[in-house]
Chain A
Amino acid sequence: EAQVTQNPRYLITVTGKKLTVTCSQNMNHEYMSWYRQDPGLGLRQIYYSMNVEVTDKGDVPEGYKVSRKEKRNFPLILESPSPNQTSLYFCASSLRSSGYEQYFGPGTRLTVT
């Protein structure tokens, strides 16, 4: 089944404790992206990747890191999480960038205390 998977789905952590949210797609998509969703703010893009080893900042990259060493995986790293990073996070992928629908993962609900 074609899908985007994220892990974990739920995470409660404390300020400053490094964490990684994994994202994997099985559709051989070139383009992958991370979004965060907050009430009243909609979806905001954190980072995106046009292809392997090619990543770029989105609208709200501060406090996050990403890597794209393999085509299928695009992990999101929070080196030192803070409470303002409490949010619902989505990974998405598409065959290429412009003109293609994005497939979304199920989301990761992160709480930083």
Chain B
Amino acid sequence: DQQVKQNSPSLSVQEGRISILNCDYTNSMFDYFLWYKKYPAEGPTFLISISSIKDKNEDGRFTVFLNKSAKHLSLHIVPSQPGDSAVYFCAARAMEYGNKLVFGAGTILRVKS
């Protein structure tokens, strides 16, 4: 049972434009959501997070939006840069499960210069 889904395996965006990565979840008990970025041959790097009591969190070029009623979150990167090309993982946690994270399958972002 895939509780966190990233339906787009890949996304290609022009440098300077907005990148929007999407994530859907099914478990209404999730109370915290995170985005990780992963380059080849490296471990995932924490990018940004959002609590379920908020609907938006911004950090520089990265903004995460949460729509609880739709069980949907998205990561916006503005402006996109070639160095943003990586695999992006959405992750969620539910307090009842402790601090374990449930990850989506990832979306490959390619930013073309």
Question: Are the chains A and B members of one assembly?
Answer: no
Q: Which residues of B contact A (CB under 8 A)?
A: none
- A residues apposed to B, CB below 8 Å: none
